[in-house]
């Protein structure tokens, strides 16, 4: 912030230094009449600077941006008239020789006096319009920065909400699965509770970052799959394949877990054989995750899940990887396929 202010101050000083040096820069090597330079160049330039900064720091904010346009125009007209009068009075008092050469209405050899005044008024419009342009641009840049900041804050808040929404959803589904094992196999239920505690520790302490190593997410998914396999019968076969080598890819946490949850929820039957196939491949910075399972739709009265999994994934993908993801689900014969591709670069 301080650095930007210093740059702005230096740029203003440099611009005015160049403007005040213009008579000497344009007539380098020629003799200059200092009185003529002062009255015809430096004094109008000083008055232009006064008009510029008066508008830049006071009038534009107070009147133009508050839609008091009549006041803004009126005050500027009065200021310009006073500046012209001040310059003419100064010229008459201290620069008599130059004043005698000033065009007037009775001098037919030069332009009319009215035209002389008009030209001066028009010359003061340049700093006025420039101050409006600079101030308006600065205000637009500030407004745009505030809009982007507000958008980013809203984005982060929404992502945080989705993240917090996913955690109890995962916990709720996992507890339902363990509850189903308590009467059938108490020993397996104990193992499941211990495994769940490890998974919850990961979700609480490892997934607070915007992105984590893909290898950590893979390890989490493997543990979850092994946990879920404890509650299914021998009629269900679960196959999974993940990259074994370190990929160096970083990804938003918990993007794939809802797909695995859905596969175990809708792809397992107590009386029929079923297969769940989970596969992940990486190509440079692109991750392709595919999961296939038999399709056994749950009945309407089944409350084993909240139904927020897929909408949560879609919303997070829109926010985290806009135009860098492809997510599709479709039925293929008796199987349901979900495919998610993400460009992480």
How far is the C-alpha of 197 from the C-alpha of 203, rounded, in Å? 10
How far is the C-alpha of 167 from the C-alpha of 158, rounded, in Å? 15
Residue 293 has a CB neighbour count (10 Å cut-off) of 25
- Class of the CATH-defined domain 149-343: alpha beta
Would you state the pLDDT for residue 9?
A: 81
Whether residue 169 contacts residue 308, with contact meaning beta carbons closer than 8 Å, is answered with yes
Confidence of residue 13 (pLDDT cuts 50, 70, 90): confident
Would you state the pLDDT for residue 96?
A: 59
Q: Is 215's pLDDT higher than 60?
A: yes
Backbone angles phi, psi at 238, to 5 degrees: -115, 120
Q: Closest by alpha carbon to 306, among 274, 262, 246, 338? A: 262
How far is the C-alpha of 221 from the C-alpha of 151, rounded, in Å? 32
Q: Is 64's pLDDT higher than 80?
A: yes
Residue 275 has a CB neighbour count (10 Å cut-off) of 15
Q: What is the mean pLDDT of residues 86-112?
A: 61
Q: What angle do CA 150, 317, 143 make, to 5 degrees?
A: 15
Q: Is 109's pLDDT higher than 60?
A: no
Confidence of residue 315 (pLDDT cuts 50, 70, 90): confident
Using CA atoms, how far residue 313 sits from 78, 199, 253, 259, 318, in Å, is 63, 19, 11, 9, 9
How far is the C-alpha of 276 from the C-alpha of 237, rounded, in Å? 6
Q: What is the mean pLDDT of residues 302-311?
A: 57
Q: What is the mean pLDDT of residues 46-54?
A: 92
- 309-320 vs 257-266: helix axis angle to the nearest 10? 160
Q: Is 305's pLDDT higher than 50?
A: no
Backbone angles phi, psi at 141, to 5 degrees: -60, -40
Confidence of residue 31 (pLDDT cuts 50, 70, 90): low
Would you state the pLDDT for residue 111?
A: 52
- 113-182 vs 309-320: helix axis angle to the nearest 10? 150
Weakest mean pLDDT among 30-44, 139-153, 215-229: 30-44
Burial letters 173-184, b for 16+ CB under 10 A, else e = bbeebbeebeee
Q: H or E stretch including 188?
A: helix 186-205
pLDDT in tens, 248-296: 999 988 889 889 988 888 888 878 899 999 999 999 899 999 999 998 8
Residue ranges with strand state E in the chain: 212-213, 236-241, 250-251, 274-283, 286-294, 325-332, 335-343
How far is the C-alpha of 257 from the C-alpha of 206, rounded, in Å? 15
* More confident call, 5 vs 125: 125
Whether residue 282 contacts residue 214, with contact meaning beta carbons closer than 8 Å, is answered with yes
Q: Is 320's pLDDT higher than 70?
A: yes
Q: Is 49's pLDDT higher than 70?
A: yes
Q: Closest by alpha carbon to 215, among 241, 240, 247? A: 247
Q: Is 103's pLDDT higher than 60?
A: no
Confidence of residue 143 (pLDDT cuts 50, 70, 90): confident
* More confident call, 92 vs 327: 327
Whether residue 239 contacts residue 278, with contact meaning beta carbons closer than 8 Å, is answered with yes
Using CA atoms, how far residue 18 sits from 26, 113, 122, 244, 325, in Å, is 11, 31, 22, 65, 53
Q: Where in the chain is the domain with CATH 3.30.565.10?
A: 149-343
pLDDT in tens, 169-201: 667 767 777 777 787 778 878 888 888 888 878
Chain mean pLDDT for the chain: 80
Q: Closest by alpha carbon to 278, among 297, 296, 293? A: 293
Would you state the pLDDT for residue 197?
A: 84
Q: What is the mean pLDDT of residues 300-313?
A: 59
């Amino acid at each position: 912030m301080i650095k930007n202010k210093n740059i702005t101050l230096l740029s203003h000083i440099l611009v005015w230094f160049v403007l005040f040096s213009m008579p000497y820069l344009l007539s380098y090597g020629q003799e200059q009449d200092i009185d003529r330079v002062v009255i015809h160049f430096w004094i109008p330039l000083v008055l232009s600077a006064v008009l510029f900064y008066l508008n830049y720091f006071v009038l534009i904010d107070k009147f133009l941006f508050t839609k008091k346009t009549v006041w803004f125009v009126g005050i500027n007209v009065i200021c310009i008239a006073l500046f012209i009068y001040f310059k003419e009075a100064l010229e008459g008092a201290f620069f008599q020789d130059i004043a005698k050469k000033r065009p007037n209405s009775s001098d037919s050899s030069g332009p009319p006096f009215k035209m002389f005044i008009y030209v001066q008024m028009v010359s003061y419009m340049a700093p006025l319009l420039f101050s409006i342009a600079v101030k308006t641009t600065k205000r637009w840049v500030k407004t745009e920065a505030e809009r982007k900041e507000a958008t980013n804050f809203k984005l982060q808040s929404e992502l945080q909400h989705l993240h917090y929404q996913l955690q109890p959803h995962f916990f709720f589904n996992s507890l339902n699965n363990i509850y189903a094992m308590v009467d059938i196999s108490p020993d397996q239920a104990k193992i499941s509770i211990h495994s769940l505690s490890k998974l919850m520790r990961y979700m609480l302490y490892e997934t607070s970052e915007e992105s984590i190593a893909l290898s950590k997410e893979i390890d989490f998914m493997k543990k979850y799959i092994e946990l879920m396999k404890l509650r299914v019968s021998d009629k269900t076969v679960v196959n999974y394949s993940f990259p074994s080598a370190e990929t160096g890819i970083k990804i938003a946490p918990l993007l794939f877990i809802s797909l695995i949850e859905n596969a175990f929820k809708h792809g397992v039957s107590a009386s029929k054989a079923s297969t769940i196939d989970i596969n992940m491949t990486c190509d440079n910075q692109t991750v392709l995750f595919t999961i296939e399972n038999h399709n056994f739709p749950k009945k309407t009265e089944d409350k084993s899940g909240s139904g927020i999994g897929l909408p949560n994934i879609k919303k997070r993908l829109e926010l985290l990887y806009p135009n860098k993801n492809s997510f599709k689900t479709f039925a293929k014969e008796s199987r349901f396929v979900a495919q998610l591709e993400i460009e992480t670069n």
